[in-house]
Amino acid sequence: MDALRKDPDYTLYRPILESDRRFYWAIGFLGAVVVWAIVMYIRQLVYGLGVTGLNRTVTWGFYIINFVFFIGVSHAGTLISAILRLSQAEWRRPITRMAEVITAIVLAIGGLHPIIDLGRPDRVLNVFFYGRLQSPLLWDVTAISLYFTASTVYLYVPLIPDIALLRDHTTKFKKLYTWLSWGYVGTERQKHVLERAMSILMVVVIPVAVSVHTVISYIFSMTLQSGWHSTIFGPYFVTGAIFSGTATLLVVMIFFRKFYHLENYLKEIHFQYLSVLLLVFALLWGYFTFSEFLTGIYGNEPMEMRVIQFKFSGAYAPFFWMMVLLNFVIPVIILAFKKLKKIPGILVASFSVIIGMWLERLIIIVPSLSNPRLPVVSEPYIPSLTEWSLFAGGVAAFCMMFLLFSKVFPLISIWEIKDGRAEGLEAVKERLESYLPDTDVAGEGA
């Protein structure tokens, strides 16, 4: 243990080895919220969906909004991590693990929401026995299971060298680490096996991630519902997903940087780079939103216009304009100016995007359902305490699982940091030399 204290990366082991009272308080509080959400869910099971605010035309409310939102957030992780690894961006090293953990946890939570939305959750078995792949809902089940499997594998494989380090240097969770490290000690052959597996995973995971959110958009765009039947929903959803995911990653990084004193690893430059990505996606989101409404307004189809007016100036106008403010105006103003683009500003912009993107999911789902094509009277959708509780439970479960993960595994990849110190500089120099033109070419050609 004393030898470990002398390790330059001891800070990364500290959350696992040392106890902090704040950690247990946080787990206690979050656990209480999760238990409350479970109690409310059991109540829903007993009394049925009548305890929610869902009604005759608005049959998809908070649960499906949260489902789309959580699955969207999951995009940050694996996608950003895979792209940064694939492009050999050296600044990725302290970021990738957090991104991958977000994906795995959020997917697990998001994937539960359609089941929560079922009055009879046992009927989910019908998907397995009598499912029809004609339905986009079943495409979702398939795509999300695939993405969850891929992202869990993608989280686990680069974690193996760190698990081996923990097995060899700590006394906690010894059996767990021995089991999960598979006898890894870092021989050349073992490193080769991991590198090979990771390079295949990186390539596989990117199209899977992109396809998942496209498929999520299909549950809306494949219907002829006004406000949903749009050809740009696929890329619009993927953009929104990466946008909200990047914002979540930034919030998580800022929080854990402070909580675990990781200032030496998560430097200002990491936030600067990621905030550029956030700015780009804010602009892209603005562009897609503009295109989506422009085509609708230009077409002037009466039902489509009714939904658009409902969003622009009707009952959902406050939420719509709040969404525009939070997703576009605030992040663009903060991130476009160097003076504001500091960590506190980035935190404000990221929170703004997270809330804005949740509102975007609300704006897509509820107004269309509130304006059905059939001449039936629609009731306003007002979420009940049950829905609010389950939403809070989902967010609390995410925070709690993330904190628990940080107590067992390092949040920053220790072996990648060590590798970066040992070989990174040389590798970058070599790569740079291979990109640049040779200086003596002119002489040779003469």
Nearer to other proteins, 115 or 325 (CB): 115
Rounded Cα distance between 222 and 233, Å, is 10
Residue 55, C-beta contacts closer than 8 angstroms, at least 6 positions apart:
379, 381
Q: Which residues of 336-371 are buried (b: 16+ CB within 10 A; e: fewer)?
A: eeeeebebebbbebbbbbbbbbbbbbbbbbbbbbbb
Supply the minimum distance, in Å, between the C-beta of residue 214 and other proteins.
Answer: 13
State in angstroms the smallest separation of the CB of 134 from other proteins: 4
CB of 70 to other proteins, least distance (A): 22
Binding residues vs other proteins (CB under 8 A) = 3, 128-134, 138-139, 142, 145-146, 149-150, 153, 156-157, 160, 164, 167-169, 175, 178-179, 182-185, 187, 189-190, 193-194, 196-197, 200-201, 204, 208
We find the least distance from the C-beta atom of residue 127 to other proteins, in angstroms, to be 9
The two three-digit tokens of residue 216, written as one number? 């999520």
Q: Which is nearer to other proteins, 193 or 280 (CB)?
A: 193
* Most distant pair of Cα atoms in the chain: their distance: 88
Cβ-based nearer residue to other proteins, 42 or 200 = 200
- Least distance (Å) from other proteins to the CB of residue 161? 10
Give 333's Cβ-side CA count (13 Å radius). Answer: 9
By beta-carbon proximity to other proteins, the closer residue of 126 and 313 is: 126
Minimum separation from the CB atom of position 201 to other proteins (A): 6
Closest to other proteins by CB, 146 vs 332, is 146
Residues 6+ apart with CB under 8 A from 256: 98, 262, 266, 406, 411
Distance from the Cα of residue 393 to its chain's centroid:
17
Q: Which of 190/272 has CB closer to other proteins?
A: 190
How far, in Å, CA of 185 to CA of 390, rounded?
Answer: 43
Which distant-in-sequence residues (6+ apart) come within 8 Å of 269 by Cβ? 91
